[in-house]
Amino acid sequence: MGLGKTLTIKGLSLLFVLFCVLFLTVIIIGATGVSDRILSAILSDRVRAFRQEMATKITDPEKLNEAVEEYRRAQISSLGLDKPWYIRMPSMVWRIITLDLGNARTVISFSGSNKIADIILERMPNTVFLMVTVLIVNFLLSLAIGVKVATKPGSFLDRFVSLYSAVSYALPTWWLAMILILVFAFYIRIFPFGGMFSTPPPTDPFWRCLDLAWHLCLPVTTLVIALSGSWIYITRSIVITVAQEDFVTAARAKGLPEKLVLWRYIVRVAAPPILTNLILGLAFYLTGAILTETVFSWPGIGLLYFNAIMSVDEALILALTYVFTLIYVIARFVLEVLYVIVDPRVRYK
Amino acid sequence: MSSYLKESWAEFWAGGISKLGVIFLLTVVVISIYTLLNFPLDYGTRYWNNPKYWADNPKASMPVWVNLFTAQKFLNHFSMSTRIPSKAFLSGGHYLKFYNVSYELTVNQFPTFITIKLEDVVYYRKAPSVKVIVQRPDGRVMELYTLIVESPVPGEKPPYVRYSDEPKKIILSGNTYVAMVLSKFLAREYKISVAPSDIMDVGYEAVIFGYPGDDGKFKPLKGIYNLSVVLYAKDGKDKIGRVTFVVGGQVYGLMGTDTLGRDLAQGLLFGFPVALLIGFTTSFLTTLIGASLGIVGGYMGGKIDDLIQRVSDVVNNLPQLPLLIFLTFIFGGKLWIIVAVLIAFGWPNLVIVVRSMILQIKSSPFVEAAVSIGASKWRIMARHIFPQVAPYILSQMIFYTPSAILSEAALSFLGLGDPSIPTWGQILEYGFDNGAVYLGYWWWILPPGLLIVFSAVTFVLIALGLEPVVNPRLRRWR
């Protein structure tokens, strides 16, 4: 199987997942009447805007009402509000894909727009930035410590890592975030309570970066503490399994230096499954990011999610569910590509 | 089979981790049973989410035991009820009944308020009157307040019952009549003149529980106070059902209170059975579905297998939390909905692993033997294949329990929990929403999280202990 074909199949199956989610959500919001509410909200927004616009042109209130009523009727049929939900399902799916879901109820974007698409697109980079930082730190950490531990199974460090990973699996990330704020922001006062920049943010680019890094410390620490345990543990188990293979024994028998055996023979083989677990762990990152952003008021889409729930903003929640699924699917695809590059066996299977 | 079980148990019990896990589990179970026996099932709606029930408690106060660690001692919140009069006698045509409690002021602080609650006042002839009297450690006595119980309405027949639905609350602090009494008291006992309208500035509690120092400021008077409510009745049978004295303090109970005055210890206790219920139900049903589909798919093969694999592949590729949030948001935060959604997303992982195990077992000689003697497919799956994967399935079930508990907590924290049932996640949510983190209310933030971690760790430890049983390859590493 060629490289292109493998990736196409992967891509198509992920695309299929995305569409499953879309249809599932559309059916649910259709059957529960939520889609009616979302469309009605869009309708009343448009009608209001139209009335304001027309009020300057038409002075006769009778005629104005007539024009507005006409416009409303046209909009109802164009939005599909006069048809049952299952008939307008395709258009609803299209609406979600293009994030054309009207205005957010209370949240406003940094530039002042309250269109859902604007708000989400503006916040997305912040979330991606946080997640990528954590991903990189965690990957390096787990590779460094996991391999080290695997070479000495049963040692003190090994036992500690096992215990740590068990405890961190049971640790709610968002609670850890609160504790870190309590300790480092409230009591010791060396880190900020939350946010991405100080108010007002520094104008000088250098200080701006430093300010960002300062605000990044606690969220990243939280996510690394919460997630690195299981990663190190997984890395360790994979490396140990590989270390028991015959070709490793053979390499040692040849008298190769231990370092060479470790990095050329063991880690090289162990890397792809480690990467697989990185892919699988992504769901947890996303989960962790939503809640961690909330606690640290990091202005990403996780915090936006929380705000949407708090203000019972159905359209925004729908849009965010889609966006999160999209990010997840894209990230998985990128990692699949990486996987194929790292492990040639996948290509030629 | 029984020797296999014995062996497995020995292997399991040999690890220190498993012993710790079992001890933790027993603790959780015992506390849950205690809670279920002592709390009504509708505790959430009846008490926890009923602000009236907690109105007398101090708000956002620390637990009592902080006094063990601080130099400056905090005043303990005091609340005591009495149903039986300590003495009763006839005097001047009135039956006098004394309802007493004694209150000891031990620290250098004034109470924050003093309130008296009367419940179920019963009288037969004329409406009685009720007096509130405080006898201080220095022997001085204050008659703080007099209440005339409401007279019978025309047509009402004795016995007349008052304050049965809603207790009568006498709030002494801020009361103008009490201010007058206190002003007179100061003039009489200490020759200080303070106008009744200025009592508020001095502080009602400062006058009741203190004495004027040399610098003109009031100092707390430590010692035992006798707080009493006296019923002046025309009939010997008249009585008060219950008298409650509340003296406001700054520390409360074992776990402190939140900003509504709720006793956190109670909420935390109630969280135990709820966490167990969520964890067990979710993990059991998830494992049941996942394992059966895995076994059926793996053994049957063909179209059924394809279908199961496709579906589980799709579900497995979904990001869980966003969809969990979406579904609980749309369908409402009922506990069973949360559990159902968790199950709906949890099963595919197990299907994939169990299926691959079944594919190996399927081709082993003992299955072929069973097939050759004509055993049915279902019988082979239930009697020959299932026992092979049972230990693994069990360990997965235990391993999935914490993630169910954690997911529910996360949803609760996002404000999507079941509001009628207090859980640890909800306590944390309420704390976070009310700025507990920014105000340093550590007693509100630490314990619920620690309990979540504790209950989750319990299952992780047991699952870890089971690992060498399930996967013999790991034995040599432990």
Per-residue confidence band for A348, with pLDDT thresholds at 50, 70 and 90: low
Three-class SS of B132-157: EEEECCCCCEEEEEEEECCCCCCCCC
Query: Over its length of 478 residues, how does chain B's per-residue pLDDT go in tens digits?
Result: 567 778 888 888 887 888 999 999 999 999 999 999 999 999 999 999 988 888 888 888 899 888 888 888 888 888 888 998 888 888 888 889 999 999 988 888 889 888 999 989 999 988 899 999 999 998 899 898 999 888 888 888 888 888 888 888 888 888 889 999 999 999 998 888 888 888 888 888 888 998 888 887 888 999 999 999 999 988 888 889 899 999 988 889 899 999 898 999 999 999 999 999 999 999 999 999 999 999 999 998 889 999 998 888 888 877 788 888 888 888 887 889 889 988 988 898 889 889 988 888 888 888 889 989 988 888 988 888 888 888 889 888 998 899 899 989 999 998 888 888 999 999 999 999 999 999 999 999 999 999 999 999 999 889 888 887 776 554 443 3
- Taking only the tens place, the pLDDT of each residue in A220-232 is 999 999 888 888 8
Question: Measured between CA atoms, how close is A153 to chain B, in angstroms?
Answer: 7
Does the distance separating the beta carbons of A295 and B442 come in below 8 Å?
no
Contact list in B for residue A318 (CB cut-off 8 A) is: 326
Predicted pLDDT at B476: 41
Q: Does B16 touch chain A (CB under 8 A)?
A: no
Predicted pLDDT at A148: 87
The pTM of this model reads: 0.85
In chain B, the domains with their CATH numbers are 2-51+263-474 (1.10.3720.10), 78-247 (2.60.120)
List all residues 6 or more positions away from A247 whose beta carbon is below 8 Å from its beta carbon. A265
Angle between helices A268-296 and A314-342 (to 10 degrees): 160
Predicted pLDDT at B27: 96
Give the whole-angstrom CA distance, residue B337 versus residue B316: 20
Does the distance separating the beta carbons of B325 and A309 come in below 8 Å?
yes
Q: Does A276 touch chain B (CB under 8 A)?
A: no
- Taking only the tens place, the pLDDT of each residue in A305-322 is 888 888 888 888 888 888
- Taking only the tens place, the pLDDT of each residue in A70-100 is 888 888 888 888 888 888 788 888 888 888 8
Q: Residues A259-278: what's their mean pLDDT?
A: 82
Structure tokens at A171: 């640790």
DSSP string, B61-114: -B-GGGGGT-SSPPPBPEEEEE-S-SEEEEETTEEEEEEEEEEEE-SSS--S-E
Give the whole-angstrom CA distance, residue B337 versus residue A312: 18
Determine the distance from the C-alpha atom of residue A100 to the mean position of all C-alpha atoms in its chain, rounded to a whole number: 20
Q: Residues A262-272: what's their mean pLDDT?
A: 85
In chain A, what percentage of residues exceed pLDDT 90? Answer: 13
- Taking only the tens place, the pLDDT of each residue in A106-142 is 777 777 788 888 888 888 889 888 888 888 888 888 8
Question: Measured between CA atoms, how close is A77 to chain B, in angstroms?
Answer: 26
Q: Is there a contact between B147 and B241 (Cβ–Cβ < 8 Å)?
A: no
Angle between helices B320-331 and A301-310 (to 10 degrees): 10
Q: Smallest Cβ distance to B330: which of A29, A286, A332?
A: A29
Q: Is there a contact between A36 and A85 (Cβ–Cβ < 8 Å)?
A: yes
Does the distance separating the beta carbons of A329 and B330 come in below 8 Å?
no
Question: Measured between CA atoms, how close is A111 to chain B, in angstroms?
Answer: 26
Q: Smallest Cβ distance to A21: which of B318, B406, B442?
A: B318
Question: Measured between CA atoms, how close is B475 to chain A, in angstroms?
Answer: 11
| Residue A48, pLDDT above cutoff 50 | yes
Contact list in A for residue B414 (CB cut-off 8 A) is: 290-291, 294, 305-306, 309
Predicted pLDDT at B1: 56
Give the whole-angstrom CA distance, residue B436 versus residue B441: 5
Structure tokens at B146: 């007099």
Does the distance separating the beta carbons of B402 and A169 come in below 8 Å?
yes
Residue of A nearest to B401 (CA): A170
Does the distance separating the beta carbons of B318 and A325 come in below 8 Å?
yes
List all residues 6 or more positions away from A89 whose beta carbon is below 8 Å from its beta carbon. A23, A26, A27, A30
Does the distance separating the beta carbons of B322 and A182 come in below 8 Å?
no
Does the distance separating the beta carbons of A32 and B314 come in below 8 Å?
no
Q: Smallest Cβ distance to B321: which of A178, A287, A317?
A: A287
* Chain A residues 279-318 within an 8 A CB cutoff of chain B: 283, 286-287, 290-291, 294-295, 305-306, 309-310, 314, 317-318
Contact list in A for residue B314 (CB cut-off 8 A) is: 16-17, 20
Q: Does B472 touch chain A (CB under 8 A)?
A: no
- Taking only the tens place, the pLDDT of each residue in A67-78 is 888 888 888 888
Complex ipTM: 0.84
* Chain B residues 318-357 within an 8 A CB cutoff of chain A: 318-323, 325-327, 329-331
Give the whole-angstrom CA distance, residue A155 versus residue A148: 11
- Taking only the tens place, the pLDDT of each residue in A318-340 is 888 888 888 888 877 887 777 77
What 3-state DSSP class applies to B123? strand
| Residue A147, pLDDT above cutoff 50 | yes
| Residue A1, pLDDT above cutoff 90 | no
Residue of B nearest to A33 (CA): B330
Q: Is there a contact between B325 and B332 (Cβ–Cβ < 8 Å)?
A: no
Interface test with B, best of A280, A305, A321, A325 (most B CBs within 10 A): A321
Interface test with A, best of B309, B325, B403, B444 (most A CBs within 10 A): B325
Q: Is there a contact between B212 and B138 (Cβ–Cβ < 8 Å)?
A: no
